[in-house]
Amino acid sequence: MTFDDQFTTLTYALLALPFLSALILLLSFKFLGKASYKISIFFSLLTLLGALSLGYLFYENSLSEKLLFANTLYTLNISSLTIVMSIFVSLVGLVVHKFSIKYMYDEEGYIRFFILLDMMIGIILSLLFAGNIIVILAFWHLIGLNLYFILVHNYKREKTYKYGFYTYFTHLLADIPLFFAIYLIFDYYKTLDLHTFLNAINTMEVQNISIFWFDVSSLQVIGLLIMLAALIKSTQFPFHIWLAYTLEGPNPASALMHAGIVNAGAFLINRFAPLFVHADFALHLAFFVGFITAVIGSALMLVQNDVKKSLAYSTIGQMGYMMLEIGVGAFALAVYHLIVHGLFKATLFLGSGDVIHNARKAPNISGKSYFNFFFNEEDTDRTPWFIHAILTTVAPMAIVVGIYVWLSGGLMHFQGDVILLFFAWLTGAQAIFSVYRSVLSKMWVMLFLTTLLFSVAIVAYLSIEHWFGGIIYTNQELSSAIFASAAIPELLFYAIVSIALFLVIVGWIFAFYSEEKRKIKINELTGFYHFIYKTLSREFYILDMISLVSFKLKSLSLRLNTKFKY
């Protein structure tokens, strides 16, 4: 058997295994009962081994891209991106399958849940490998449909199918811009093959689309539509509310959503990466929306009294960071972010029940030696906040910026790197102030943690983009072109950085005054603090507005039905 035959057979076997498992379970559960879950676990393990084997063949033969059945409906487009993502999806899928054995054992529809899990893994893998844009749209839609059935597994509870419908409706909205993008691709470039379209971008003359009185590049419009589809699917503001209310579904479903569902938007954008060299407006939109989502998700996470809901808003915030990375052109970093965050957050969701159980039995803070090393509750004399701010943020930042400017040859070498460096600084500063608020009184420990956190943040934000980018994108010219497309005018860039620094200083001042009020109980908050807490606790009233619109539409429907009743 030749290499091409081996590669083709293994690829189609990988895609068929999850669907085959679902089919066997459907036919055999009446005879085997609950024991038939073992079939699903076995096929999940085979799927992971198949993904690893395919990755080995791909990299062993130094491939950058492999096309199977090109220019047909069954085209498969295999690249480093799809290989890495397939391994990630298969791994998380196996873990979720294994966890569900005992967690779902007493639930009704036990085997049905495993069938839906297998279907979801198969759908995601098919989306990863599909090379025909129509097929991509089909599996893009099926993700939302299959997720709905997983979330409403316990359909006897009203809230379950209510919020399950919210989720499905949001995913339907994500289908609309992708559908119109495909229509424009076929209309202007006469192809539905992804590889052919991406190559045509550089070889064919770009046509314009007349929108009212303006002529706009067709690639700008297509890129914007694909970006909108990705933003809606990846829980970006204001379409983020569905994720926080999927918690009525089974706990394994929450972990499964990090295996290519909420992350699907980043994958879609990376799949069309060459397009965004010519669609800079879409990248600017991703940066703006991602920034807002990151702030809102992180803020809402802090006011939740439910651990799973807090994790959900944490995910929304991280998806905002991921889109922000895409907005600055760091596509490979966004893929790395979604993989690492997916593994991390899936683990937290799977362990959240155990955490709650243990907290109810032992609610007191640990008194172990390593806790006392960092936190000394008896010694409350702390260094003034402004000294902490200078030593733990300003000084390290100045040193890091100086080293970076010296190594890169100038601050404007890459705007994306500078912006990511700034967010690395914010990440480290946030962690430091969290530790400061936790009554940390040993200055030398603070300085040690500062150095460690900043080192990790800087390495992660600046190094991973170039290291992981070499794996995902072997064409470095494409990466550089995407960074250049994401750049904004230099004067505007410096203005934004100045405003950001000003907001950080204002935040320090706000944190200082908040320190005096942090012992006040929630019901004693007044004025501005009460307004902020009320707004956050009601999640910016987005769900209230959705409920109001739903109520008005139902009332209008009833009146119309009554008026035109025959």
> Residue 259's pLDDT is what?
67
Spell out the residues 6+ positions from residue 24 whose beta carbon is closer than 8 angstroms to its own: 39, 43
Give first-to-last CA distance, the chain, whole Å: 70
> Residue 379's pLDDT is what?
45
Q: What does the pLDDT average to over 37-64?
A: 90
The per-residue pLDDT of the chain, averaged, comes to: 77
Strand partners, 10: none
In the structure, what pLDDT confidence band is assigned to residue 463 with cuts at 50, 70 and 90? low
Burial (CB count within 10 angstroms: exposed 0-12, middle 13-18, buried 19+), residue 239? buried
Spell out the residues 6+ positions from residue 95 whose beta carbon is closer than 8 angstroms to its own: 255, 346, 350
User: Can you tell me the distance from the alpha carbon of 525 to that of 535, in angstroms, rounded to the nearest whole number?
Assistant: 13
Query: With the C-alpha atoms ordered 88, 264, 278, 71, is the resulting torsion angle positive or negative?
Result: positive
Q: Which range among 141-145, 411-415, 423-427 has the greatest average pLDDT?
A: 141-145
Better-scored residue on pLDDT, 448 or 350 = 350
Whether the per-residue pLDDT at 307 is higher than 90: the answer is no
In the structure, what pLDDT confidence band is assigned to residue 377 with cuts at 50, 70 and 90? very low
Q: What does the pLDDT average to over 401-418?
A: 52
User: Can you tell me the distance from the alpha carbon of 338 to that of 392, in angstroms, rounded to the nearest whole number?
Assistant: 28
Burial (CB count within 10 angstroms: exposed 0-12, middle 13-18, buried 19+), residue 405? middle
159's tokens: 């809230």
> Residue 384's pLDDT is what?
54
> Residue 154's pLDDT is what?
77
Identify residue 50 by its one-letter amino acid code. G
> Residue 179's pLDDT is what?
94
Q: Which residue has the tokens 């090379």?
A: 131
In the structure, what pLDDT confidence band is assigned to residue 440 with cuts at 50, 70 and 90? very low
Whether the per-residue pLDDT at 487 is higher than 70: the answer is yes
User: Can you tell me the distance from the alpha carbon of 477 to that of 325, in angstroms, rounded to the nearest whole number?
Assistant: 18
Upstream peptide bond of 384 is cis (omega within 30 degrees of 0): no
Identify residue 165 by its one-letter amino acid code. F
- Check if the beta carbon of residue 276 is closer than 8 Å to that of residue 223: yes
Whether the per-residue pLDDT at 364 is higher than 70: the answer is no
* CA 299-304-309 angle, 5° bins: 100
Sketch the domain layout of the chain as residue ranges. 1-131, 165-356, 380-519, 522-566
Better-scored residue on pLDDT, 467 or 363 = 467
In the structure, what pLDDT confidence band is assigned to residue 412 with cuts at 50, 70 and 90? very low
What phi and psi values does residue 234 have, to the nearest 5 degrees? -95, 30
- Check if the beta carbon of residue 283 is closer than 8 Å to that of residue 181: no
The answer for 244, left when phi > 0, alpha when psi is -120 to 50, beta otherwise, is alpha
Whether the per-residue pLDDT at 476 is higher than 90: the answer is no
- Check if the beta carbon of residue 511 is closer than 8 Å to that of residue 385: yes
Q: What does the pLDDT average to over 133-140?
A: 94
In the structure, what pLDDT confidence band is assigned to residue 378 with cuts at 50, 70 and 90? very low
Q: What does the pLDDT average to over 515-542?
A: 64
| % pLDDT > 70, the chain | 70
pLDDT digits (tens, 9 = 90+) for 379-409: 444 555 555 555 555 555 555 555 555 545 4
User: Can you tell me the distance from the alpha carbon of 6 to that of 111, in angstroms, rounded to the nearest whole number?
Assistant: 33
Ranking 23-32, 136-145, 374-383 by mean pLDDT, the lowest is: 374-383
Strand partners, 77: 67
* H-only helix segments in 328-411: 331-361, 369-374, 385-389, 395-408
